Structure 1
Amino acid sequence: MALNFFDKLSQNFIELLNDKDDYNVIIKVENKEKSFMAHSNVLKCRSPYFRRELENIQPNENNIKIITKSSVSAQIFDIILKYIYGGIVNLENVETRFIFDLMLVANEFKLEELTNKLEILLIDTKASWLKTHFSLVYRTIYDAQNFKKLENYCNDIIVKYPNLIFDSSDFTSLQESALVSLLKRDDLQMKEVEIWDYVIKWGISQNSTLPTNLEEWSKENFFTLKTTLQQCLPFIRYFHLTTYEVLDKIKPYKKIIDKQLWDDINQHLLAPERPVKSIILPSRSVLVTDLPPRTNKSEEFFSTIVSKDHVAEISTWIDRNTTAYTSTNNPYKFELILSGTRDGFASQKFWELCHGHAGTVVVVKVKGTDEIIGGYNPLAWDNSNINNQWMATNDSFIFSLKNGNIKNSILSRVKNQNNAIYYMGKIDQKSFGPYFGCDNFYIGNQCQCKCKFLIADYERPIRTPSSEYFKIVNYEVFEVRNF
């Protein structure tokens, strides 16, 4: 039988960290503006990175070893040290971007346990943020080359929605390892000829000296492209292209393909039953979604306020996409948390039902008009505050949706991130529900709402001037989740 006393052990080591008498290491962070004192034995025991660094640093005249990490913020390093000493990581009321950056620093310091925990936390609870910042996440994890769970998570999304990467403006800056990992996937949902076109585009972009006119290419130009694409070309499914695709797309670049492969492609087109010497990769599988059996009963929709087209539009805004989602390719589902007509319009009910939910959309139907307005909060709602508190984020927005006489939707992103969302303390939770900016949009108790006409913390007003205060017939709150 073993008795564990980890809580007291953790507490004692945190006390050791706070003891400034016996330290023998100083770590300078945040452009050397902040210094932390630590103990070499603890650092070396907990982190392979610090073990290597400390072994290669000579102490100064006071027998102190100094490590400089200018690019690491003081706030992140404070959490890193508390984890190293006490195994404690407090992530209350922090932005998802902070968690992501903390994971990167933990990986840099070779803190495998913390890195893995944060990676799983992001995948399990911060999916909306990961998709909103998909390009940043995807490129960063491939730069680090040590986040296999996130790599697989991102690739699972891309194979279903390849436009997220292949149609992005910075596709040509994609790391080679990331592109190869996608080309290896048998379930990449693209036509093979389109994949070929993107691979050629990527390869050409890596060599700025290549002529723009293919007819002007020399033998050396083709060799340059072949060398650039040597890791990509083996994963093209040449034997599943049509004759016209080979003639129109592959043949102009046949000089970058090995002679044996080119001969086999042509033989396969003429006599597909004959064996070839080249490896024939399987065709890419098309994901098929089984349709439910047809019934006479009409499908029951999840909302009495917004349509599936509205949901697709809001999802596009969440991901900051330039290409709009449709109701058929929207990667998100909206799960209803609260409905005013079902759960009541008391403000306190909002804080009760929405507490802990992150990545939420609030929509309201304005009484006496066709207006549908709302807001998106990427942070988790929190009803535990004693006092009112501003929450900072760059990713929230408010909106008005096209509906009936309302001909155009309005998107208004936060411009003062420090006043993005207002979380009510215990007393004011009885009077106010969701609150965006300084009166830019809020829902008060029992259907009373306000939208400020003067531009304040968000880019633009979402209602035309008539009255800042208005009544609603219903409101709904959804959590945005992956399919």
Structure 2
Amino acid sequence: MQQQLYLPVINSLENLFKSKKDYDVIIQAGEDNDQKEIFAHSNILRYQSDYFDTAFSDNRVKRKDGKYFFEKPNISPYIFEIIIRHLYCGQLNLNVMNGPDILKLLVATEELGLDRVLSEYIQEFLIEDQNKFSQDDCIELLKIVFQHGTFTILEDYCLKTICQVPAILFGTDKILSLPAQILELLLKRDDLALDEIELWNNLVRWAHAQQPTVNKDPSKWTKDELILMEKMLLNFIPLIRFHNISSEEYYNKILPYDDLLPKKLRNEILKSYLVTNVEQIGLLPSRFSFDVNVNSVLINATHLSLFTGWIDKDDEALQIIPYKFNLIFRASRDGYKASVFHEKCNNEGSIIILGKIRGTNQIVGGYKPFYWEGPGVYKYTRDSFVFFFNDYRYIDTGKIGKLIDEDLTLICNGRWMPIFGKDLAMQLNGYKWTSSPYAYPNLNIPNNFEIDDYEVFQVIKNN
């Protein structure tokens, strides 16, 4: 009923916007061939926008024949008309706009001092509609929003995405042109899912890119080159968690740059390698808000955080991991025979099994919450699931298949590797797997494939 009352008011304002009757504002939006005059009413603009209110109040606007004249060459007519229409009648359809134009709209809302709620709405739309921007766009998107201190929702999303999927930035040439302030923000975060030595390697690459005249061999640096690199890395070195770097990695990768480290820090690092029970160097903890050591050649801690969410029936990755994931079997280490698998994995309680499909970046696997035992025994539970990563480097490509037919949950057979219903079955030799969706949803896992390697983790709830 209430909607019927305010709709006529909105329609009247929209008609006023369309008709331009009694307008007293002329806005020249855009420039060159993309310039257009937009007509509006000063009373509506000044009460809807801090920018226009200030401009009218301070008499900073050109006025002639009773009309105000604005020149806004940096905002296109297309974007400006969308904004003016919204100011009149509250309408805004982002679904018909492409990602770059939505971003331009967002920037314009800040410049024109529009309502903060509108800015937050646009930011949340960009985050929710993954078709507007891909993960790979996050870096360029972050560079843009970082210039605007008010786009905190979008900035935090971009930072979090890069932390969860560091491969879109680290190890690529994109990092070489990354602004120092953004790199510093990333290194400060505890949820950056990258080995610490890889962060150091990328930091060195970035520093050399900023100072291309400095010799790539630190043993040949002049005094001036050393001073230059010290200034370049002054704010970054304290952000490296050296306690998560092994002595071997330190010797091979960091020791050549040892002169860049403050003397106190070098002594702390040396102490950590020579004295037992030194768990932390500096004030920063290990990355992630949990202490987890991932003994895997296939996955990292971000995968474990996602598995934790799936086990706890939450589709999101969790920042706290309340489980221990103990590696009990690795095919490349222990062999591909079914007998060895059962020797190591039977009666070990809840386990997660995952394998990398040969010649791809795809990972498949499954979870079972009970002991693996018995010849040809069927096991039933609602808590089992299978999963598939189209590209294991990108955590958001992971899909879970929750059980839909409890009668075909799992088959325990000493002659075979694990069998999750009919959906995921590892054959006698262990490196040939099959998939036939039945008891679990179809995740587009290949029907027949071979495995490069696979691992089994015992899952234990922390006390």
| Common topology (TM > 0.5) | yes
Correspondence list, 1:7-406, <5 A: 7-31=7-31, 33-54=35-56, 55=58, 57-91=60-94, 93-111=96-114, 112-126=116-130, 129-131=133-135, 133-273=137-277, 278-284=282-288, 285=292, 286-287=301-302, 288=304, 289=307, 327-330=391-394, 331-332=396-397
SS of 2:173's equivalent in the other structure is: coil
- Residues 274/311 of structure 1: CA separation in 2 closer, same or farther (3 Å cut): closer
Q: Which moved more, 1:32-41 or 1:53-62?
A: 53-62
Query: Normalised by the size of structure 2, how large is the TM-score?
Result: 0.59
Aligned mates of 1:16, 1:40 — CA distance in 2: 13
Aligned mates of 1:69, 1:58 — CA distance in 2: 12
Output one character per residue of 1:224-252: Cα deviation in whole Å (capped at 9) or x when no partner.
Answer: 22322333222110122222222232232
Aligned mates of 2:100, 2:281 — CA distance in 1: 50
Aligned mates of 2:105, 2:242 — CA distance in 1: 43
2:461 corresponds to: none
Output one character per residue of 1:401-420: Cα deviation in whole Å (capped at 9) or x when no partner.
Answer: x999xxxxxxxxxxxxxxxx
- Residues 327/162 of structure 1: CA separation in 2 closer, same or farther (3 Å cut): closer
Output one character per residue of 1:165-200: Cα deviation in whole Å (capped at 9) or x when no partner.
Answer: 113332211122322222122222211111011112
Q: Which moved more, 1:159-168 or 1:218-227?
A: 218-227
Q: Which moved more, 1:124-133 or 1:182-191?
A: 124-133
Q: Decide whether the 8 Å contact of 1:27 with 1:67 is kept in 2.
A: yes
- Residues 201/122 of structure 1: CA separation in 2 closer, same or farther (3 Å cut): same
- Residues 96/334 of structure 1: CA separation in 2 closer, same or farther (3 Å cut): farther
Output one character per residue of 1:456-477: Cα deviation in whole Å (capped at 9) or x when no partner.
Answer: xxxxxxxxxxxxxxxxxxxxxx
SS of 2:226's equivalent in the other structure is: helix
Aligned mates of 1:90, 1:221 — CA distance in 2: 54
Residue 132 of structure 1 deviates from its aligned partner by 5.5
- Residues 16/239 of structure 1: CA separation in 2 closer, same or farther (3 Å cut): same
Residue 9 of structure 1 deviates from its aligned partner by 3.2
Aligned mates of 1:243, 1:87 — CA distance in 2: 61
> What is the identity, as a one-letter code, of the residue corresponding to 1:328?
Y
Q: Decide whether the 8 Å contact of 2:20 with 2:39 is kept in 1.
A: yes
SS of 1:133's equivalent in the other structure is: helix
- Residues 225/117 of structure 1: CA separation in 2 closer, same or farther (3 Å cut): same
- Residues 294/172 of structure 1: CA separation in 2 closer, same or farther (3 Å cut): farther
Aligned mates of 2:6, 2:83 — CA distance in 1: 19
Aligned mates of 1:169, 1:95 — CA distance in 2: 27
Higher RCO (C-alpha under 8 Å, 6+ residues apart): 1
Aligned mates of 1:311, 1:56 — CA distance in 2: 62
Q: Decide whether the 8 Å contact of 2:24 with 2:39 is kept in 1.
A: yes
Aligned mates of 1:135, 1:276 — CA distance in 2: 31
Residue 95 of structure 1 deviates from its aligned partner by 2.8
Aligned mates of 1:21, 1:333 — CA distance in 2: 55
> What is the identity, as a one-letter code, of the residue corresponding to 2:248?
Y
Aligned residues with identical type, % of pairs: 23
> What is the identity, as a one-letter code, of the residue corresponding to 1:117?
Y
Q: How many aligned residue pairs are there?
A: 317
- Residues 108/59 of structure 1: CA separation in 2 closer, same or farther (3 Å cut): closer
> What is the identity, as a one-letter code, of the residue corresponding to 2:397?
Y
Aligned mates of 2:192, 2:67 — CA distance in 1: 54
Q: Decide whether the 8 Å contact of 1:239 with 1:280 is kept in 2.
A: no
- Residues 10/169 of structure 1: CA separation in 2 closer, same or farther (3 Å cut): same
Residue 89 of structure 1 deviates from its aligned partner by 1.0
Q: Decide whether the 8 Å contact of 1:192 with 1:236 is kept in 2.
A: yes
Aligned mates of 1:23, 1:185 — CA distance in 2: 51
- Residues 277/170 of structure 1: CA separation in 2 closer, same or farther (3 Å cut): closer
Aligned mates of 2:36, 2:92 — CA distance in 1: 20
Residue 121 of structure 1 deviates from its aligned partner by 1.3
> What is the identity, as a one-letter code, of the residue corresponding to 2:89?
G
Residue 164 of structure 1 deviates from its aligned partner by 0.4
> What is the identity, as a one-letter code, of the residue corresponding to 1:30?
G
Aligned mates of 1:203, 1:6 — CA distance in 2: 58
Residue 149 of structure 1 deviates from its aligned partner by 2.1
Query: Normalised by the size of structure 1, how large is the TM-score?
Result: 0.56
Q: Decide whether the 8 Å contact of 1:142 with 1:175 is kept in 2.
A: no
Aligned mates of 2:85, 2:151 — CA distance in 1: 23
- Residues 279/104 of structure 1: CA separation in 2 closer, same or farther (3 Å cut): same
Aligned mates of 2:237, 2:143 — CA distance in 1: 21
- Residues 103/276 of structure 1: CA separation in 2 closer, same or farther (3 Å cut): closer
